[in-house]
Structures are given as C-alpha cells and as structure tokens.
Structure 1
Amino acid sequence: MNYSADSLPEIKLIPLDCEALHFTQPGETRRPPTDIRWVKVLEFLRSNNLAPNSRKLYERELKRFLAWSELHYHELRPRHLALYKEYLRDEILTDAGKPLSKSSINAGVAALKSFFKWMCYTYPDIIATNPTLGIKLEKVPLPPAQSLTPEQMEQVWSALKLLGETNQRDTALVHILSHGLRAGEVVQLNVGSFDGKLLFLPDTKTNEPRLVPLRKESRDVLVEYLQLREQQGEVLNSDSPLMISHHASYKGERLSYHGIYFAVEKIGEIAHIEDLHPHSFRHTYATDLLLLGVDPSHARNSYLAPGNLNVNSLTKCQFSQAFNVL
C-alpha cells in the first residue's frame, strides 16, 4: 500500500509527567540527579592517601568550587579559575563575617591545583590541559623559622656530652630525630627495625611503611648504644625496644612519647635553647634537604621521608651529602 503525505495521520504531542520520568514511588521524595563532576572528586579523594583533616579540606574546597561553576571540566579555562580566585577573595566570608585570609584562599587554590593535576593525569581524554597552571598563590608572610640553626645544633651536641646516665641513649635519640622521624614513630621502633644502615617504620602517620637511611655517624652511634646495653647484661632480640627508659619506675621499658619529650626538653635546658621539642629536629632535617637542592614538592609531600623521596631527583653528590650511604 502506498501512502502519501496527505494520508498520514496528524502528529500529536503528548506532555510527559516529569515525576514519572524519574520513576518516583508514591510518597517518595525525588532526589536531584548526581553531579557527574562530583563522582570524579570522590574518586580523587579515594585515590590519594590523605590524612583525615586534609581530606576534609579538599572535599570542602572542591564542593565549593562545583557549587560556584556549572561548567564541565573540559570546558574550564584559566580565566574561569582566575574569576573563582577573585570570588574567594571578594565574596566568601568566614563564620565571623570576615574575608578569607590569604592562607585560606591558598588552601582553596591548592586543592584545585591538586585535583586538576590528578584529572589531567588520570583522564587525559576528558581534560588535556590543566586550567590551574597559570593561577598563582597569594603571597603570605613567611612564618617564624622553626628549624634549628647550625649554631643551635652545635649547642645540642655539646649539651649531650654533659648528660650522665642517659648520654648515649639521648645521643642516639637525637641522631634518629635528626632524620625527620616523629616522636610517635621513634616510640614504635624495635631493635629489629635497624639493620645497621636503615630504619624500617612499619606504621607511620600516612599509614605507609618507610625505609629511612641513616648517615654513617648516626649508624655508628646507634650501634654503640645497643652494644652498651648488651654489655650491661640486657638480652636484645628483634622485638626489644630500640629506645628504653631510664626513669626509676619504668627502667628498661620502652621509652614513651612523653619520655622522648622530657629528654629533649632537658637537652634544651642544658643547651639554653627555649622551647626545644622533638619536632624541632624534623623541621631542621627538612630545611637541610631543601638547602641541598631537593624539590620543595618532595619536601612537602614526604616531609621528608627518605623512603618516599624520589631519589632520582637528587644528584649523587646531594644524596651522598644528605644520607652518606653511597
């Protein structure tokens, strides 16, 4: 049968029920569709081993950006990010009703930089060019130096010689702290954590094990400390604590977190250094490596954990100076 245009039935438009399109059940509240951009943010947060506070900050800042912009990632350009930075500076207020500080603005921009760097690497088919590359951070005043000066470190080494019973233990303790370890990480160290050259940290703040190469002088000091304990009759095995207490109530037991702080404070009193604490040596270690030419991004990301440090970014001379293990 042949049909002509005139013989076809009239086309009728039937209005559709929007609620029916979303298959809502009676009495059910329709949820707004999921923003596909947020799915990528959640993937980014899961793929990075972020500390809880860092994860909250990233999530907050990325959620704020997505609420500001309706553009998909591939549509974003540097001018959009520049406008967003102005938005943070001019329109966002704190709970106290004050404009964001430069540090808070930088936190928002840094979160975006980290996310879009990950997006470009993970999904180059979605976004080939990082729109945050030309966005500069706000200039903020440098905080007071927290690392020890070379003169202060000399005062520390001199003070250690004036200690009595705890001399060798505290000397070994300072050598270990001077490699960037946290006090809590030192507490967990056992004799078996030291193989003569490296310290193995099975549990760290980032939940990742680390290998920490020691300088030759530090290795020798630690070996002498362990030998002294054996000469004094202690039977050492791999599970024995690396650092032990000399307190009358806990003599021979594992040196505690507070014990480390007390030992360092005592050294500070003798060395005439105010507010000396274990983290002072961690700051100093990071500063020393930066002065050797280590990329600041490595310093920030590993802070500085030699096990995580990209050794290929250092020259052989720099690595030898830093760790003296070549």
Structure 2
Amino acid sequence: MDLSDSATTRDRKVPFVSGTPGAFRGRSAGDLLTGKTPLEHNVRDFLNHLVVERNLSANTVAAYRRDLEAYLVHLIGRGIDAPKDVRRADVEAFVAARRDCGYASASIERALSSVKSFHRFLVREGICETHPTANVHLPKKEERLPDYISIDAARALLDQEFPAGAAGARDRAMLEVLYGCGLRASELVGLDVQDLYLDDEFVRVLGKGSKQRLVPLCGSALKALVDYLDGPRRELAAHARRVAACPGVFLNKNGGRISRQSVHAICERYGRLVGIEGLHPHTLRHSFATHMLAGGADLRVLQEILGHADISTTQIYTHVDRTHLREVYLSAHPRA
C-alpha cells in the first residue's frame, strides 16, 4: 500500500516550521512524499512499513504522517535532504520550533516520538548509521485530569427531548452508547450490526491496535439502541446510494456510515441544549469511567471495558475520584 496518494493529506498545505524559504515553499503535503529527496523517500518507506508490517490503524498512520511531514519541512528549510546529514541539533531545533508555535506538550511529545521511531527505522534498515534522536529526551508531559461531567449533567443530557424521526432516535442511541459503554468516537463509528449481541447484552468493539474486546450493553443504552434498530435505522438505510447496504450501526442521512466529525457535532449540539458547552465524545468516555469508579467498579474490570493496554492509563480516574472525595470532605466536615 503506497501512502503517497492518501486522500486525507493530498490537498493540504504544510506550513514551514522553521528555516529559510526555499524551493519547497507552497508544495502540498502529498508532494513532500513523492521521493524527490532521499529523506522524502525514506519517510514514505517508513509509513508503508507502519501499514504493512506493523498493521497500525489508518488514524495512527495519519498521525505519524502529519508529524513527519512537518519534520521534513523543518529539515528542508535547514538545507537537509538526506538522513545522514541530520544532527541532534536539528531535532532539538524542531522541538523548539513547535514549542515556539504554541503546540501543547502532548503534541510535541507525539511529534518527537514519531521522529524517534523514524530514525530507529533508518538505523534498523541499515539506511543510516547515526541515530540523532538517541539522546533527545521527550518534554515533560503536563499532568491533566480528564474532563468529565457530573451524573446529574449526564442525566440531563440523555433524558432531554430528542427530535422526532430517525435522526433523533439515532442521536439518542449514540449518546447513550457513548456514555453507557465508554466507547471512543472511532469505536462507535466503526460498530457494525454483526458486532451487536443484544440477547447477551454485549457489544464487540474494535479498539486501538485492532484489538477486539467485549463491552457490556445494558439498561438505557440497550433500550435506546434497540429502539433505533427497530425502525429508524432501516429508514436511514433506505436512503443508501450504494448497491451494497452499509453494515454500520450508526448511519448518516444518506444511508452511509456516520463520520467521527458528525459524532463530535452531535455531542456538542445536544450538550449545548442542556447547558454543557463544548461536550466532546471523549468527555462522555471519561464520565463513564469516573462514574463507574465512584460507584465501586473494580479497576481491572474498568481497564478491560475501556480497552486500555496498561492499567496506569486507567488509574488516572482514581485521581479524579480522589479529587471528588476531597471536595465532598471539605464541604461536609465541620472542621475542614
């Protein structure tokens, strides 16, 4: 699979990160990976390696591509077009330039991680002997507690009046499943009808790294989903413009699989109607985890439901819960 013609980046312009203007000014991101320099050719080979040999998801590969395109522009601006000419100072300058441009620490960390992986690939493949990122350390990541809404806010969101018709039933089911199952937006979008085990009250989810897991589907989330499948989904599917019916659970007005962008817009719209500004699908996932822990859920069980590879990722919600406990203590204890 050749990534040089990826539709997601073909027409996007990549701004200069640093360095002086040169012959590459104004070239599209897709043009940067046509193999006109050794570095461009190497980046394209690395991205193909991620797809073919490491079998990473399309979204993960797209993130690597964006980071490495910015890195390429940075190096080209410094007059570097071959991997053997890259020095530690060039990598550090790339990190500094992104920091000066106002990128968050998490974004800088991810970009540097992509660059490190790329240079490790070059050394492993015998393309380059030097590893300029070996002693470049990742910036310290700011510790941020996840955003979540209260149980009362979640109740207001899901108990509000949804519009009559197929789209309203779909939107209710989507929000119920996001909060009731703790799914990522990409996982919700990727659900197929064959992934639903309604009689057993489970849903099969394809998570990060193409790892499958079973997530309980119960209560109001199950009811809303069954109500949607019983008629509204068939109504949306009837508008399909394709010969083969879409297997996706959640469909758009044309009968195709709904997009992540639409899921984000739907969350924001219904959140705003009940006074929750900027509601994001991931906020509902964080809220699910926080409320589960507050209700006594086992951390290991929660890790399995959320699909976290490392329990340390799940443990952040214990910090959220402790913060809540402290607030309750301070407000309730007479000598606090």
Instruction: Tell me the TM-score range normalised by the shorter chain.
Output: 0.3 to 0.5
**TM, length-normalised to structure 2:** 0.47
**TM, length-normalised to structure 1:** 0.48
Report which structure shows greater RCO (CA 8 Å, sep ≥6).
1
Which one has a bigger Cα radius of gyration?
1
More helix by percentage: 2
